Structure 1
Amino acid sequence: MNKVELIELIAVGADIPDTVAKLALESIVYRIVEAVSANEVVQIGGLGSFLQVSRSARVGRNPSTGLSVQIPAMKSVGFRASSAFKRQVNHS
């Protein structure tokens, strides 16, 4: 499913125009990104939690040349599915 298909499903499910569904989805995504960037955990019941994850610096290897490469520390995004979400996935 892509963004356009999700917007259509939201519009049908909420009985609202596509333009309103698009604005709602874009607002939700923006707020999640904003909160996780500020190191806040975003918990959505029935779906899961979005959180910032720190990765320490490490030495990696270039697969084509075999040379060692220093990979700097960085922040990433983690998602932990809720138990309800996991149950639904396992029963389908």
Structure 2
Amino acid sequence: MADKSLNKTELVAKIAASTGQSQATVDAVLGGLFDALAESVGSGTKVSIPGWLSVERTSRAARTGRNPQTGATIQIPAGHSVKVSAGSKLKAAAK
């Protein structure tokens, strides 16, 4: 695991410094990106940025589980989750 992390504020500052844009502009663009991702994935549309990443909604079937405290069998309903896949450029940057 990485021992360092970059939060949204630090990311906005870094992008603003490298592009010459104001932090408010960069923050608004990132907010728009996150809103578009949420809306698209929520409606079942796959979002793909070739070479960088793809984000899609996946379905999970209903299944039987077990309550870890009591050991009782429970029914877990069907649901959705999000799958994020790294593209080739992102994978290469991680090497």
Identity of aligned residues (%): 36
State the number of aligned residues: 90
State the match for 1:34 in structure 2. 39
Q: How does 1:56-67 map to 2 (within 5 A)?
A: 56-67=61-72
Partner Cα distance (1:10, 1:88) in 2: 17
User: Residue 63 of structure 1: SS of its match in structure 2?
Assistant: coil
**Structure 1: gaps spanning 5 or more residues:** none
TM-score for both structures, normalised by structure 1: 0.90
Runs of 4+ aligned structure 1 residues displaced above 4 Å come to none
Q: Deviations over 1:6-41 (max 9, x none)?
A: 111111121111111110000000001111111111
User: Residue 78 of structure 1: SS of its match in structure 2?
Assistant: strand
State the match for 2:55 in structure 1. 50
**Structure 2: gaps spanning 5 or more residues:** 1-5
Partner Cα distance (1:22, 1:84) in 2: 24
State the match for 2:3 in structure 1. none
Q: Deviations over 1:42-76 (max 9, x none)?
A: 00123210001000000111112111111100011
Counterpart of 2:90 in structure 1: which amino acid?
Answer: F
